[in-house]
Amino acid sequence: MTQHQNHNQSNADNGSDTAIALGKGLDVGTANLAAAVQNDEGGITVTVERNAFLDIPSDVYSKNMLTKLKVPYIVHNNKLVVIGEAAFELANVFGRETRRPMSDGLISPNEQDALPMMKLIISKILGEPRVPGENCYFCVPAPSLDVDNNVVYHQGLFESLINKMGFTAHAINEAHAVIFAELAENDFTGIGLSFGGGMANACIAYKSIPCLSFSVARGGDWIDKNVANVLGCPRSKATHIKERGIDIRDPKSREEEAVAIYYRSLINYVLQNIKSRFESGQNMPSFNAPVDIACAGGTSMVGGFIEVFREEFAKIDFPIPVGRIFRSEEALTAVAKGCLVAAAIGEG
C-alpha cells in the first residue's frame, strides 16, 4: 500500500501517526509566503518566498542577466518583474522600494496588478496537489481592533486562487495555527501570537477550540515605516537593518536604537490590547491553571524579542495567570506548520 492510499480527505482517521498524511499548509503573510508539507523523513518541509516584487525596464540584456543569475522574473505589461527575495535584494542595491501585494495582513487595494505574481509564487511554493482536491489550509487574519479591514474579500480571493490550483482550500485563523503548531503539549490550550509583517494576531484557545481571536494592524512593516521615517531612508533599508541580526536589548547604533524603540512599542501595544480585550470582553474563558503564551511570526525573530516581550509583560497587570512565555523555535514557519497540522487532521 502506498503512503497516500486510503488517506484522501479523511486524514483524521489515519491510525498511524508516523505515516505521511495528505494536506498542505500555507501561510499567506504580508512579508513572506510559506508552504508546509510532510516529508518522507517524518519531518516537514517548508518552502518560503518573500511576498514582494520589483519592476525594472525590460530589455534583452537585463533578461539574460536575470536568467544567468537564476533570479525569478516574469514579463508583465512589457516590464520585467523580479519576484520574491531577489526583488528585496535588488531594491536594497538600487535604493528603491519593493512593491508589496499585501499590506496590513490583507491583499493590498493599491496593487491590483500583483495577483498574477502572487499566483505564481504560491503555485511555486505549494506545488501540485498530490491527489485531486487535496486539503490546503491557509491562514487568514482575525478581524482587526484598530482598523476597518475586509477579511471576507481577502479570504474569498485566496480560497478561489487555491481551489483553482486543484486543492480544496480551507481558511484558518493565523494565531490559531500558531496554537496548533506550538501548544500541543498543553492540549492546545493557551495564547498564540503571530507577529507578522502587516499585523499581530492573537488567539486564545481552550483544548484547540478558539475562544477569542483578534488582530492589530501593526507588525514588522509598522516598525519599518517608523524607522524609515525617523532615519530618512527607504523602508527596504529599514527592513534590512531589522533583519541583519540585531539584538533589540543591546542596540549598537542609532539605526538599531530606532528599531529597538519601535519593537518595544509594538510589543507593548499588542500586550495592552490583549489585556484590554480580556478585561472587557464577554464569553472569556476562565482558566484554572496558568496558560502558556507562544509567540511566532517573522517579526518575532529579531534577537532579544522574547526577553523584551517578557519585560513588557511584567509591566502590565495581566488578567489571567500565565505560565511559560516562549518563542517558537521555527518562528518564521510556525504558522505554515500549524496550517499543515489543521490540514492533516481536517481541523479548522
Member of 22, 54, 125, 335 binding another protein (CB under 8 A): 125
CB 95 → another protein: shortest distance, Å?
Answer: 25
Q: Does 17 bind another protein (CB under 8 A)?
A: yes
Residue 237 and residue 309 in contact, taking contact as beta carbons nearer than 8 Å: no
- H/E stretch holding 63 reads helix 60-68
Q: Does 153 bind another protein (CB under 8 A)?
A: yes
Tell whether the torsion through CA atoms of 331, 333, 336 and 341 is positive or negative: negative
Member of 258, 302, 333, 335 binding another protein (CB under 8 A): 333
Pick out residues in 263-322 that bind another protein (CB under 8 A). 281-283, 285-288
Q: Does 254 bind another protein (CB under 8 A)?
A: no
| Three-state DSSP class for residue 119 | helix
Q: How far apart are CA 179 and CA 89, in angstroms?
A: 33
Nearer to another protein, 226 or 239 (CB): 239
CB 305 → another protein: shortest distance, Å?
Answer: 19
Nearer to another protein, 37 or 267 (CB): 37
Q: How far apart are CA 159 and CA 172, in angstroms?
A: 11
CB 177 → another protein: shortest distance, Å?
Answer: 11
Q: Does 120 bind another protein (CB under 8 A)?
A: yes
CA proximity to 276, closest of 245, 244, 318: 318
The window from 96-104, 192-200, 298-306, 340-348 that contacts another protein (CB under 8 A) reads 340-348
CB 88 → another protein: shortest distance, Å?
Answer: 12
CB 63 → another protein: shortest distance, Å?
Answer: 9
Q: How far apart are CA 337 and CA 36, in angstroms?
A: 6
CB 160 → another protein: shortest distance, Å?
Answer: 4
Nearer to another protein, 107 or 228 (CB): 107
CB 283 → another protein: shortest distance, Å?
Answer: 4
Nearer to another protein, 6 or 229 (CB): 6
Pick out residues in 25-84 that bind another protein (CB under 8 A). 36, 38-39, 42-49, 66-67, 70-76, 83
Q: Which of 40-78 are b and which e, b meaning 16 or more Cβ less than 10 Å from the residue's Cβ?
A: eeeebebbbbbbbbbbbeeeeeeeeebeeeebbbeebee
Residue 292 has a CB neighbour count (10 Å cut-off) of 18
CB 295 → another protein: shortest distance, Å?
Answer: 17
Q: Does 115 bind another protein (CB under 8 A)?
A: yes
Torsion of CA 336, 33, 41, 134, to 10 degrees: 70
Cell of residue 112, nine digits? 491590483
Q: Compute the 3-state secondary structure of the chain and give helix, strand, coil in percent, each to the nearest 5.
A: 40, 25, 35
Q: Does 339 bind another protein (CB under 8 A)?
A: no
Q: Does 166 bind another protein (CB under 8 A)?
A: no
Nearer to another protein, 46 or 91 (CB): 46
Pick out residues in 181-210 that bind another protein (CB under 8 A). 181, 184-185, 187-188, 206-210
CB 5 → another protein: shortest distance, Å?
Answer: 18
Member of 164, 244, 310, 324 binding another protein (CB under 8 A): 164
Residue 141 and residue 192 in contact, taking contact as beta carbons nearer than 8 Å: no
Residue 48 and residue 64 in contact, taking contact as beta carbons nearer than 8 Å: no
Q: How far apart are CA 258 and CA 231, in angstroms?
A: 8
